[in-house]
């Protein structure tokens, strides 16, 4: 119908478009295996990691863990300054940055039901295999649950943690501060208006995984959207931010990991249950931990909320930076990790 006139419509797709579609389908690279292949005799994956060893004999072992849609590259701005500080009076660290199972160059999860608690067990073994009997961890996003598992169950080896993401419920029956109201509003907005991607990956990882695997533009839009929505608006204006997004999307494309990376959503706690899950007694952190609240994060929290989930000994608020803290504010993460370590490591 055009205006008031009803007219017949003829479907007329040029032949060259059919030929182009045929070429694209013939050239499509499907995921190399099922999303959760049969494990056989293999029970645990082999893990890819970056190891930035410090020359300092007093260096503190530090494992840094990413989430989705992150990668080991997320820590590329901090592993050298942390392991090779320009000032000898500053704390130094042996930095280990693993790729989660199913991400980048790490193996895919070897069996159904693989959770972040399983990943924590493997990462603890990794640190000990590298000779680090005691270590600290810095993490955010899905890595938060790796850190919480290590700090609540592996307390003989994992002695200290710094979070930049720590969903926790505010206490009831108290008057909230201005910042508490604002960050709670950001949490409510994220859960109400930005969770479509998580529902898709939690319920249909195979469907969208096959669709995206050999589709660089699809991966770029899927991953890039979250880099735009979950980052500080001012940080995104910097020229390097485009490089960060393109590098991350390229890693997902070249390593065929967009589909298995979705298993974090399929096998673990749902976002709307994060805060209550952190409050469960078996998840309570008993060793010292610190938290930096980045205002522009997707689910920023507050001191009175986070301290309900464990032994909080260090808290800081930063009004710039967001979900990708080590990329957006590397100087801030470096400073906070050093401050927490200086305060607590000698007692660990």
Token digits of residue 248? 């991350």
Just list the catalytic residues: 141, 265, 323
Q: Say how far apart CA 161 and CA 120 lie, in whole Å.
A: 13
304/10 Cα distance (integer angstroms): 65
pLDDT at 2 over 70: no
| Whether 284 contacts 262, CB under 8 Å | no
| CA atoms of 297 and 167, how far apart (whole Å) | 11
Predicted local distance difference test score (pLDDT) of residue 14: 82
Question: If you write DSSP's letter for every residue of 71-101 in order, what string do you get?
Answer: -GGGGTTTHHHHHS-SSTTS--EEEEEEPPT
Domain boundaries, the chain: 49-344
pTM for the whole thing? Answer: 0.90
Assign 52 a pLDDT band (cuts: 50, 70, 90): very high
pLDDT value at residue 111: 84
Contact predicate 289/318, CB 8 Å: no
Task: Please name the residue that has the structure tokens 């419920």.
Answer: 169
* pLDDT tier at 1, thresholds 50, 70, 90: very low
Q: Which CATH number fits domain 49-344: 3.40.50.1820, 3.30.70.1560, 3.20.130.10, 3.90.1010.10?
A: 3.40.50.1820
Burial state string for 19-54 with b = 16 or more CB within 10 A and e = fewer than 16: eeeeeeeeeeeebeeebbeeeeeeebbebbbeebeb
pLDDT of 35 reads 65
CA 82 to each of CA 167, 334, 341: distance values in angstroms, whole numbers, following the listed order? 26, 7, 12
Q: What are phi and psi of 313, to 5 degrees?
A: -120, -5
Tell whether the model's pLDDT for residue 106 goes beyond 80.
yes
CA distance 315 to 294: 11
Q: pLDDT tens for residues 266-287?
A: 999 999 999 999 999 999 999 9
Phi, psi of 96 (to 5 degrees): -120, 125
Higher pLDDT, 46 or 146: 146
- The answer to whether 319 touches 293, Cβ cutoff 8 Å, is no
Q: Residue 26: what pLDDT?
A: 83
Count the residues in the chain.
Answer: 348
């Amino acid at each position: 119908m055009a205006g008031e006139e009803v007219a017949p419509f003829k479907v007329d797709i040029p032949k060259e478009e059919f030929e182009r579609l045929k070429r694209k389908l013939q050239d499509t690279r499907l995921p190399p295996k099922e999303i959760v292949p049969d494990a056989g005799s293999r029970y645990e994956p082999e893990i890819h990691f970056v190891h930035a060893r410090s020359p300092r004999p007093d260096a503190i072992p530090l494992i840094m863990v990413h989430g989705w849609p992150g990668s080991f590259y997320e820590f590329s701005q901090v592993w050298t300054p942390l392991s090779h500080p320009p000032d000898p009076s500053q704390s130094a660290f042996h930095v280990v940055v693993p790729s989660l199972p199913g991400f980048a160059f790490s193996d895919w999860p070897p069996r159904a039901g693989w959770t972040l608690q399983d990943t924590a067990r493997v990462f603890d073994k990794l640190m000990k295999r590298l000779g680090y009997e005691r270590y600290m961890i810095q993490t955010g996003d899905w890595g938060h649950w790796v850190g919480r598992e290590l700090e609540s169950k592996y307390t003989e080896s994992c002695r200290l943690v710094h979070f930049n993401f720590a969903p926790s419920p505010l206490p009831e029956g108290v008057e909230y501060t201005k910042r508490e109201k604002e960050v709670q509003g950001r949490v409510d907005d994220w859960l109400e208006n930005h969770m479509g991607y998580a529902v898709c990956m939690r319920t249909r990882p195979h469907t969208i995984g096959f669709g995206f695997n050999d589709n660089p533009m699809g991966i770029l839009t899927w991953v890039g959207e979250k880099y735009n929505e979950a980052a500080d608006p001012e940080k995104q204006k910097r020229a390097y931010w485009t490089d960060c997004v393109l590098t991350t999307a390229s890693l997902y494309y070249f390593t065929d990991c967009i589909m298995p990376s979705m298993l974090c959503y399929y096998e673990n706690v749902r976002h709307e249950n994060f805060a209550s899950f952190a409050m469960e007694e078996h998840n309570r952190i008993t060793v010292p931990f610190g938290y930096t609240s980045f205002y522009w994060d997707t689910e920023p929290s507050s001191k009175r909320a986070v301290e309900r989930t464990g032994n909080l000994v260090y808290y800081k608020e930063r009004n710039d930076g967001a979900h990708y803290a080590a990329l957006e504010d590397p100087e801030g993460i470096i400073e906070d990790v050093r401050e927490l370590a200086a305060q607590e490591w000698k007692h660990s």
